[in-house]
Amino acid sequence: MGTTLDFCTAGESHGRQLTAIIIGLPAGLTVEAGAIDRELARRQCGYGRGGRMQIESDEVLITSGMRHGRTLGSPLALTIGNRDWPNWEQEMAVAPPGHSFASQRMVSVPRPGHADLAGAAKFGHPDMRNVLERASARETAARVAVGAICRQLLSEFGIGMHSCVVNIGGVAAEVPQRPDDEFWTKVEGSDVRCGNETAADEMHTAIDQAGARGDTVGGEFEVHVSGLPPGLGSNGTWQERLDARLAAAVMSIPAIKSVEIGLGKQVADRPGSQVHDPIEAGDPGDSWPFSRPTNNAGGIEGGISNGEPIVVRGAMKPIPTLTQPLPSVALPSLKPSPAHAERSDVCAVPAASVVGEAMVAFVVAQAMCEKFGGDSLVDMQAACEAYWQRLRQLWQPRAEGV
């Protein structure tokens, strides 16, 4: 971890707990555990999940970095317990097992599409449970908790975010380019996070049909961020480009195979006149006196936020644990064998959509800390206000030649 806002997580899917440590948070930020738990509950919802979500009821415990409801400017540590742990205490024990222990849950046939085989090669684990326990998307609960704290920081600057599912198993749903509150309310009320009821019904059918065949389905989600100041990220170096950072963050979510910003790969098919968003003059009294009739750029031009909402889309592959398993080979014998199968989900795209929000929240919060960063929230707010003040002066209409 560097010196900027950053985090890391630890924890196995069936271990005792997940842990996250965040560094670089400004002091004086009010953090509400209840708001974190609400985000954790959003991630747990979703049609197509397996039996595990009936066991878990995620709740955060903040153990350091705060006093009396506010951040201290020191590393913030949090944990989320795994309620499934008592069923795995021996299998996943940190301490050496007793002489009589024989694993009942060893994984010796890798699943195509899973980290099993590549991880076994990399780490030299004969039991691929040692790989899958960390590759599991259980870890994303910790990311959502981190994202919830980043959201609390962003809300201090009027920045908010939403997400929705735009495709499950090939059933696509249109999203308005500038969705309103009514659309987002529908999304939050949908167990597939889809704002279009007809498409949501078809998504349910796609999930049911896949489950009945012993198969799984993937899909796509979209994250929208509003209220951002222009100027986050930079065209200066490849590491600072906001679009590249968002792409890396969303791609790091387990099972994500592609990320798009704004119009995404459609830009390749259209002429420039149908891709780039015209610039119109807004009210000269505004601190940002511009408007854009379209937002094909997804809020980022030249790797810098341009004052429009950021729109990021992630595509998730179908979960590799199939109850009708694909062909594989047992290790180390290389004997052909159906791939390992265990309890899993048929579809986790709605959950991934909430995780996508969390990762986007983290990247935007990091970019805000870089641009306006100080040791405390009041320093950050003062720097942000000074920036808006500078912009207000920059765009004052002047008489010709002055």
**Strand order across the 219-226 sheet:** 171-172, 160-168, 219-226, 310-316, 256-261
Q: Which is nearer to ligand EPS, 321 or 353 (CB)?
A: 321
Work out how close the CB of 192 gets to ligand EPS at its nearest, in angstroms, rounded to a whole number.
16
Residue 144 exposure: Cα atoms within 13 Å on the Cβ side: 25
C-beta separation of 135 from 252 below 8 A: no
Work out how close the CB of 295 gets to ligand EPS at its nearest, in angstroms, rounded to a whole number.
32
* Nearest residue to 360 via CA among 291, 266, 259: 259
The residue at minimum Cβ distance from ligand EPS is 52
Q: Would you call 162 helix, strand, or coil by DSSP?
A: strand
Q: Would you call 6 helix, strand, or coil by DSSP?
A: strand
Q: Which is nearer to ligand EPS, 53 or 61 (CB)?
A: 53
Q: Which is nearer to ligand EPS, 11 or 298 (CB)?
A: 11
Q: Which is nearer to ligand EPS, 151 or 340 (CB)?
A: 340
Give the pair of three-digit tokens for residue 168.
Answer: 């499950």
* Nearest residue to 72 via CA among 36, 32, 26: 26
Work out how close the CB of 52 gets to ligand EPS at its nearest, in angstroms, rounded to a whole number.
3
Q: Which is nearer to ligand EPS, 166 or 322 (CB)?
A: 322
Work out how close the CB of 229 gets to ligand EPS at its nearest, in angstroms, rounded to a whole number.
33
- Tokens 């959502």 belong to 144
C-beta separation of 268 from 262 below 8 A: no
Work out how close the CB of 20 gets to ligand EPS at its nearest, in angstroms, rounded to a whole number.
14
Q: Which is nearer to ligand EPS, 66 or 144 (CB)?
A: 144
Write out the residues near ligand EPS by the rule CB under 6 A.
13, 50, 52-53, 56, 84, 136-138, 141, 321, 342-345, 351
Q: Which is nearer to ligand EPS, 106 or 279 (CB)?
A: 106
Annotate 200-243 with DSSP letters as a single string.
HHHHHHHHHHHHHTT----EEEEEEEESPPTT-B-SSSTTT-HH
Work out how close the CB of 13 gets to ligand EPS at its nearest, in angstroms, rounded to a whole number.
6
Annotate 343-386 with DSSP letters as a single string.
S--S--HHHHHHHHHHHHHHHHHHHHHHHH--SBHHHHHHHHHH
Give the pair of three-digit tokens for residue 217.
Answer: 């389905």
| CA–CA gap between residue 184 and residue 353 (Å, rounded) | 13
Q: Which is nearer to ligand EPS, 43 or 162 (CB)?
A: 43
| CA–CA gap between residue 84 and residue 20 (Å, rounded) | 19
Q: Looking at the DSSP assignment, which residues form a beta bridge with residue 81?
A: 17
Q: Which is nearer to ligand EPS, 140 or 305 (CB)?
A: 140
Give the pair of three-digit tokens for residue 33.
Answer: 């555990």
What beta strand segments (E) does 65-159 contain? 66-67, 70-71, 76-81
Number of CB atoms found within 10 A of residue 318's CB: 19
C-beta separation of 310 from 360 below 8 A: yes
**Residue 145 host element (H or E):** helix 140-155
* Nearest residue to 259 via CA among 240, 272, 245: 245
| CA–CA gap between residue 194 and residue 191 (Å, rounded) | 8
Work out how close the CB of 316 gets to ligand EPS at its nearest, in angstroms, rounded to a whole number.
12
Q: Which is nearer to ligand EPS, 12 or 220 (CB)?
A: 12
Q: Which is nearer to ligand EPS, 141 or 187 (CB)?
A: 141
